[in-house]
Amino acid sequence: MNGNFSYSNPTKLYFGDKALDFLNTELPKYGKRIMLSYGGGSIKKNGIYDEVIKILKANDKEIFEDSGVMPNPTSEKLIEGCKIARENNVDFILAVGGGSVCDYAKGVSVAAWYDGDPWEKYYLNMEEPKAGDKIIPVGSVLTMVGTGSEMNGGSVITNHAQKLKIGHVFGEEVFPKF
């Protein structure tokens, strides 16, 4: 291989049958108000939802559910999630699902406290959060692998009205914490 390089990734990864137990270690590092984002309900069918809720409650977290994150999350859903996060002053977003849920959660984390159109600012114009902008930390519990969204700052959002699907790779401050 030509050249030298350095690689760093701030996301902490947990693997194995007891991987959900890590939530008991990680959750105390963040605030009390948790936005739980997930998709169409497979996490309820496979039992992960009940396990996560049990752990959140055991850690005395206040839970604000944000369900219905679809594959290829839309700009409309992003605005809905931003409203939930802002109105409930969430301290942390826990994305439970696959890559689309992670992408969506990262988009909400950046855009929740922005008063304008997040689609225009962060996706069409590719603006970066400014120093001092509030970014809500994100964590993920993966139920499906393949996108790598759990380990990067990327967020892909779709706008059907404009017939556009745009990915924005934000900096390390948007990477999931775990």
60-117: per-residue pLDDT in tens?
A: 999 999 999 999 999 999 999 999 999 999 999 999 999 999 999 999 999 999 999 9
Residue 170: strand, helix, or coil:
coil
Helix (H) / strand (E) containing 58: helix 48-58
Q: What is the CATH number of domain 19-170?
A: 3.40.50.1970
Residue 2: strand, helix, or coil:
coil
Q: Which residues pair with 35 in a beta bridge?
A: 64, 93
Mean pLDDT to the nearest integer, 27-54? 96
Q: Say if residues 106 and 174 touch (Cβ distance below 8 Å).
A: yes
Mean pLDDT to the nearest integer, 33-57? 96
pLDDT at site 1: 56
The residues near 48 (Cβ < 8 Å, ≥ 6 apart) are 20, 96, 141, 143
Mean pLDDT to the nearest integer, 48-64? 98
pLDDT at site 83: 98
